[in-house]
Amino acid sequence: MRTWRVGTFSMGASLLFLGLFLFLSKFLGLDLVQVMAAWWPLLLVVLGIEILIYLFLSRQEKPMLKYDFLSIFFVGVLGTAGIVFAIVSTTGIMGKVEDVMAREERSFELPAFAYKTDDSIKRVVIRTVGYDMTIEATEEKEVSMFGTYRVQTAKKTKLLKSADDIIAAKQKGDTLYLNVKALPNEIGPFYSQGIVAATILVPKGVKLEVIGNDNSLTLKPRMLENDWSIESTSSIAVDVASGSNLKVAAVGVQEVRGKDGDWKVTEKASSEDQDQSRAKNALYQSGEGKYRINIADAYSVSLNTIE
């Protein structure tokens, strides 16, 4: 007579239920992680039912439970895996993992930003956060920004809902302060950083100061009618239109690029270490050079003359 050992039926039922859940998840669109986290309590139910049935059907006065330890071990492994999935799901880590696995790079347009200016605004100060940007002089009486940003996300909805999410504007006296904000980033092992490509238009008649953050800038002053000051950027490209009344002065830069004869360059040794590369002071002038673009603390400056 074959001996019934507790655990054999439980292992078979466990495999049956697990296979059934996985099969249905393919057709019902169920999430695999949710299935693994939810089905494991059935193991305890099946094992308990098997023990009760064994005791009920046993005809001994003092029935002794006989266990199939290999089957119970296998059931325990499945149950432990289910419990682990459930615990990880409650911490939110599993959701993060699923989100990372479903991510792809998407590009969106920046929310439109525009700030009307009048004669009371004499100066604009822009503080950037490390994104490559283009700053251009315009005849319009407003400061505006447009462009695109690229992020890794599993969602098709835009990360930025309004212009306030990417730039903050505040007028104090005769100065308009603009602080460009960083895109929201996740902190931790799933860290990802977005990329912004933005253009800022500034009225050509106001004074401009740009405080960089080791980022790259492209300057398009056109027919500038005031002074610009740029500092703390890694590289700057200046597009100068022929016939402009402009002077570009770069102080303490490592590289100067442009057509032969455009720059007047002088070198000076670094005050910290004589073995370091020699910093350069460079000067370019178009026309009488009435308006200036002063560049400081930049690694390289390149000049593009536009006919």
Same domain assignment for residues 57 and 122? no
| The pLDDT of residue 65 is above 70 | no
Residue 214 within a domain = yes
Please report the beta strands in the chain, taking only residues with DSSP state E, as ranges in sequence order: 104-109, 113-116, 123-127, 133-138, 142-153, 167-172, 175-180, 195-203, 207-211, 216-220, 228-241, 246-253, 255-257, 264-268, 279-286, 291-306
C-alpha triplet 262, 268, 270: angle, nearest 5°:
130
Same domain assignment for residues 131 and 261? yes
Same domain assignment for residues 27 and 139? no
Look-up: residue for tokens 């960089």? 212
Look-up: residue for tokens 């004589």? 274
Name every residue whose Cβ is closer than 8 Å to that of residue 100 and which is 6 or more positions away in sequence: 190
| Boundary-marking domain end, from 36, 70, 101 | 101
Same domain assignment for residues 173 and 265? yes
Residue 246 within a domain = yes
Least confident of 118-127, 267-276, 294-303: 267-276
Same domain assignment for residues 77 and 111? no
Mean pLDDT, rounded, of the chain: 81
- Cα-flanking dihedrals φ and ψ of residue 264, to 5°? -105, 110
| Boundary-marking domain end, from 84, 101, 118 | 101
Distance separating alpha carbons of residues 184 and 176, to the nearest angstrom: 25
Same domain assignment for residues 288 and 196? yes
Residue 192 within a domain = yes
Residue 3 within a domain = no
Q: What is the pLDDT of residue 100?
A: 59
Number of domains in the chain: 2
User: In which band, very low, low, confident or very high, does the pLDDT at 93 lie, cut at 50, 70 and 90?
Assistant: low
Same domain assignment for residues 88 and 117? no
pLDDT tens-digit map of 159-177:
888 999 999 999 999 999 9
Same domain assignment for residues 132 and 177? yes
Name the residue among 167, 170, 171, 180 with its Cα closest to residue 121: 171
Determine the average pLDDT of the residues in 266-276.
55
Structural domain for 264, as ranges: 104-306
User: In which band, very low, low, confident or very high, does the pLDDT at 96 lie, cut at 50, 70 and 90?
Assistant: low
Distance separating alpha carbons of residues 46 and 54, to the nearest angstrom: 12
Same domain assignment for residues 51 and 86? yes
Question: By percentage, how much of the chain surpasses pLDDT 90?
Answer: 41
| Boundary-marking domain end, from 49, 69, 101 | 101
Residue 2 within a domain = no
Q: What is the pLDDT of residue 1?
A: 42
Question: By percentage, how much of the chain surpasses pLDDT 70?
Answer: 70
Note the pTM of the prediction, 2 decimals. Answer: 0.68
User: In which band, very low, low, confident or very high, does the pLDDT at 41 lie, cut at 50, 70 and 90?
Assistant: confident
Residue 83 within a domain = yes
More confident residue, 100 or 121: 121
**Helix/strand number for the chain, H first, E second:** 5, 16
Same domain assignment for residues 210 and 270? yes
Asked if 129 contacts 181 with a C-beta cutoff of 8 angstroms, the reply is yes
Q: What is the pLDDT of residue 297?
A: 87
Q: What is the pLDDT of residue 275?
A: 43
Same domain assignment for residues 95 and 113? no
Determine the average pLDDT of the residues in 12-37.
68
Q: How many CB atoms lie within 10 A of CB 122?
A: 14
Residue 1 within a domain = no
Residue 248 within a domain = yes
Asked if 159 contacts 148 with a C-beta cutoff of 8 angstroms, the reply is no
Q: What is the pLDDT of residue 107?
A: 86
Same domain assignment for residues 84 and 17? yes
